Amino acid sequence: MSERSERGPAHKTLEIGMALLIGAFGLVVIFGSLKAGINWGAEGPRAGFFPFYVGAAIVGASAINLWSARRDDDGRLFASWGQLRQVMSVVVPTAIYVGSMPFIGLYAASMVFIAWFMRWLGGYRWLTTIAVAVGMPVLTYLVFERWFLVPLPKGPFEEWLGL
């Protein structure tokens, strides 16, 4: 047993979880391939032929990974709770950012996201924060929409501005 200075989920738990998750994905693939037809038709393999064996290989490999993960017993931590909290402090806002994009558009969402990140995680002064949070989307707008004519998702805010 290694020395534990901090607490957190065991590496083993995550390994097992990952193997199960990937195995489940394999099952979904097998199920989908069965729907597409997995036999060898008159003109070579049908649409589901390859995915079926790929799915089977995923399930097989995951079973072995699961077995070796269960034997694995060195008591390592996956990460400490503190570290995971740090990671989640990025994942959760990014998820909100990404999830809100279809509704409020990319630009407004980006401003809020950058500002939030810099102010609360980075601890920057408001002035710096706002300069970057506003500057970056404006620059993006100019580069993508004006120069390269690539439309990015827009929301009511841009509609109101008539962009």
Partner 1 sequence: MEELANLFHGFAVALQPYNIMLMIIGITLGVIIGVLPGLGGANGVAILLPLTFSMPPTSAIIMLSCIYWGALFGGAITSILFNIPGEPWSVATTFDGYPMAQQGKPGEALTAAFTSSFVGALFAVIMITLVAPLVAGFALRFGPAEKFAVYFLAFCSFVGLSKEPPFKTIAAMMMGFALAAVGLDSITGQLRLTFGVTELLNGFDFLIAVIGLFGIGEILLTMEEGLAFRGGNATINLRVVLQTWRELPAYWMTSLRSCLIGCWMGVTPAGATPASFMSYGIAKRLARRGNNFGKGEIEGVIAPETAAHAAGTSALLPMLSLGVPGSPTAAVLLGGLLIWGLQPGPMLFVEQKEFVWGLIASMYLGNLAGLLVVLTCVPIFAAILRVPFGIIAPLILVLCAIGAYSVHNSTFDVMLMLVFGVLGYLLKKCNYPLAPLVLAIVLGDKAEEAFRQSLLGSQGSLGVFFSNGLVSTIMALGLVALFWSAIQEGYSRLRTAMA
Partner 2 sequence: MKPFVLNVALAAIVMSCANGTASRAAWEPVRPVEFIVPAGTGGGADQMARTIQGIVTKHNLMKQPLVVINKAGGAGGEGFLDVKTSSGNPHKIIITLSNLFTTPLATGIPFNWKDLTPVAMLALDEFVLWVNAEKPYSSVKDYVDAVKKAPSGSFKMGGTGSKQEDQIITVGIEKAIGTKFTYIPYKGGGEVAVQLVGNHVDSTVNNPIEAVAQWRGGKLRPLCVFDAQPMAYDEPIADGKAWKDIPTCKSQGLAMEYLMLRGIFMSPKATKDQVEYYVELFKKVRATPEWQEFMKNGAFNTTFLTGADYAKWVEAEEKRHEGLMKEAGFLASGN
Residue ranges binding partner 1 (CB under 8 A): 11, 14-15, 18, 22, 25-26, 29, 32-33, 35-36, 40, 42-48, 50-51, 54-55, 57-58, 61-62, 64-65, 68, 78-79, 83-84, 86-87, 89-91, 94-95, 97-99, 101-102, 106, 110, 113-114, 117-118, 121-124, 128, 132, 136-137, 140, 143-144, 148-153
Backbone angles phi and psi of 149, in degrees to 5: 55, 45
Candidate list 1, 2, 7, 35; residue touching partner 2; CB under 8 A: 35
Q: Which of 2, 7, 43, 71 forms a contact with partner 2 (CB under 8 A)?
A: 43
Assess 127 for contact with partner 2 (CB under 8 A): no
What's the burial of 79, exposed, middle or buried (CB within 10 Å: 0-12/13-18/19+)? middle
- In whole angstroms, how close is the CB of 69 to partner 2 at the nearest point? 37
Number of alpha carbons in the 13 Å side-chain half-sphere of residue 1: 4
Report the b/e string of 28-67 with b at 16+ CB within 10 A: ebbeebeeeebeeeeeeebebbebbeebbebbeebeebbe
Q: Which is nearer to partner 2, 119 or 154 (CB)?
A: 154
Q: Which residues bind partner 2 (CB under 8 A)?
A: 35, 43, 145, 149-151
